[in-house]
Amino acid sequence: MSKKFILSHFEDIIPNHILSRGYDYYNEDCIKRFRIDENLVYASVLGTDLYEVEITLDPDHNHVIDVTCSCPYDQGPYCKHIAAVMYHLNVEINDHQTDRFKTYLETKTKQELIEMLLDLADEDPQISMRYGSDKSNSNISSLIDVHLDPFMDDGFIHYRDARKAIKGFEIALSKTEESLPIDQFRISFEIIKKWLIVYQEFDDSDGNLSSIKYEALQLLQQAAEEVDQENEIIGIVKEIRVFISASVDYDFEDTHLELLRSIFSLIRFKAIKDMLSITIKSLVDFNHKSTYFKYYQDEVIDLYYLFLNNSDKKEADEWMHSHLHSHPMRIRAIEQAFKRRNYPFIIKICQESLEQNLGYQKEWHHYLVQVYTLTKQYELAHAHMSHLILLNDSTYYQIYKASFEHSKWPSEVIRLLDELGKQNYIPSIYEKIMIDEKKYDYLLRYVTEHPRKVFDLYQHFQEIYYEEVKSIMKQEILNQFSSGSSKKHYLNRSHYLDTMLKAYGNEETKAMIYEMKTMFKNRKALNEVLDHYFMKLS
């Protein structure tokens, strides 16, 4: 084993690739038993098997003296099971020491505690910086930087360092737990600003950094709803406004919207409401270079509508009707028109949207079905139900069928299937109609053209086309097993044989296996898999 080391420094001793795997084991609750008996730590870690880890500590539990694991790993003194237990042990020791320290502090008077803090501040200036209220914003930023900077040498934080690098963000978030709303608001905004600086230089494959942002936004919203003094928060809102204005040329559209939505409840304060009005309006007028600028602008237009609707519904209506080129405003206008029974307006908007190919086709057809049903124009409603079916929407399929002239329905089914079959991408409703309407000739042609589908659909028409379905299934099994060379590859395809067994029984499946063994007699891995499967059938 390696030399003695400080327990809290184990991440500096164990290689990063082992730490990463060990942290996953720790995080996924793979430690099944754990106890500390004086200076010995005993733990069981579930991996490929249940492995026993033992750690020897010094009497003060500050240093690791020795470690062992029963696993077969022989590439170094530390394995992922040891790393997992180290993470768990470090938390246990810290919690125990924290409890002891808390008990000790509880015995001190207020004056003794003040003197202790002042002594500590003299030794470490960071303490007074961290807890001095005048510099709380910069302190949060500095706290995050302390943990980020060691991993930013090449300008990019790799996945292996990600967990350590975000530690400052996590500590900053924890400071909001017992904070007043104003402090929670300030800290959350600082986290979001810092997040925007680093997210493009960060491998966030596990999504932990993104989670930091969304948690900060939730805290920001919560604080905005709880703060009760306008003068407390107006300065920070000014900072947010300046931040958005300064970063409007960059690709921060989503964050702008998320920030504004999070603090939207602050419009209850007049000065902040006026400030936000100017900010949102400036974003509406901004001609952004982003590739999805249209979506972004639509969202900002809708946000400004909500802003106006909060205080002046007439002005909000005027805004809505002057921005009907925006999808959210069209939807709001249609919903409002339904309440007022202004059906001609709904028809006009929906037909324009379809003619101008503005997207969201299903939405417009749905609204038109509702309007024509309410106004008892059933033939027109049926026409739009038909469009929806061809757009792979089954919402009105049964209604369409029930209201269609019975004698003409078989011809309509053929028309629908022919239209659906012409599409480049065959929609799922195509299968539903073939099955529901028992169009087995279409179903056979479909699985012939898409043979893998036979494993999902055979039971619906096997009785009618027994031999044809079997032939398609056998050929597709041969196709699936003809590629690949590893045992794992063939095992992963054994479920096709399972379907063959279910559909055609033991003897037919054995015959299929004989045929493959003859065809692929030189493939050792495949023959091992087939032999094993054959034994299950015997």
CATH number of the domain encompassing residue 344 = 1.25.40
Copy the structure tokens of residue 310.
């909060």
Do residue 462 and residue 407 come from a single domain?
no
354 CB-near residues (< 8 Å, 6+ apart) = 361, 364, 365
Q: 105, 133, 161: which is the final residue of a domain?
A: 105
DSSP 74: -
Give Cα separations from 250 to 148, 197, 300, 301 (angstroms).
23, 12, 16, 19
444 with 424, same domain: the answer is: no
Domain around 357: 326-437
Last residue of a domain, one of 437, 463, 483: 437
Strand order in the sheet with 63-69: 5-6, 63-69, 50-57, 40-46, 31-37
**Judgement on whether residues 429 and 445 belong to the same structural domain of the protein:** no
Q: What is the pLDDT at residue 98? A: 66
The vertex-102 CA angle with 100 and 104, nearest 5°, equals 70
State which H helix or E strand residue 42 sits in: strand 40-46
Pair 338, 425 in one domain? yes
pLDDT at residue 133, rounded to an integer: 39
Q: Do residues 458 and 492 lie in contact, with contact meaning Cβ atoms separated by under 8 Å? A: no
Which pLDDT belongs to residue 37? 86
120: Cβ–Cβ under 8 A, 6 or more apart, which residues?
Answer: 127
Is 114 domain-assigned?
no
Determine, yes or no, domain membership for 398. yes
Q: Which residue has the tokens 């470090």?
A: 90
In a domain, 125, yes or no: no
372 and 430 in a single domain? The answer is yes
421-425-428-429 Cα dihedral, nearest 10 degrees: -40
Q: Are 341 and 416 found together in one domain?
A: yes
Does residue 262 form part of some domain?
A: no
Helix (H) or strand (E) holding 381: helix 378-390
Is residue 528 assigned to a domain? yes
Note whether 45 and 60 are within 8 A (CB).
no
Residues 412 and 453 in one domain: no
Whether residue 480 is found in the same domain as residue 404: no
- Residue 2: the pLDDT is 47
Pick from 401, 418, 437: which residue ends a domain? 437
Q: Which H helix or E strand runs over 498?
A: helix 494-519
Q: What is the mean pLDDT of each run of 10 residues along the chain (538 residues)?
A: 73 85 87 89 91 90 90 88 91 72 77 72 48 54 83 78 87 86 90 86 86 93 91 86 73 78 90 87 71 75 91 92 94 96 97 91 96 95 95 92 92 95 88 95 95 95 95 95 86 93 95 93 91 89
16 and 74 inside one domain: yes
Q: How many domains does the chain have?
A: 3
Do 419 and 332 share a structural domain? yes
Residue 209 lies in a domain: no
Report yes or no on 524 lying in a domain. yes
* Pair 452, 379 in one domain: no
pLDDT of residue 248: 65
**Do 457 and 392 sit in the same domain of this protein?**
no
Residue 139 domain-assigned?
A: no
Asked if 52 contacts 44 with a C-beta cutoff of 8 angstroms, the reply is yes
- pLDDT score of 380: 96
Q: What is the CA radius of gyration of the chain?
A: 33
The rounded distance, in Å, linking the Cα atoms of 357 and 394 is: 22
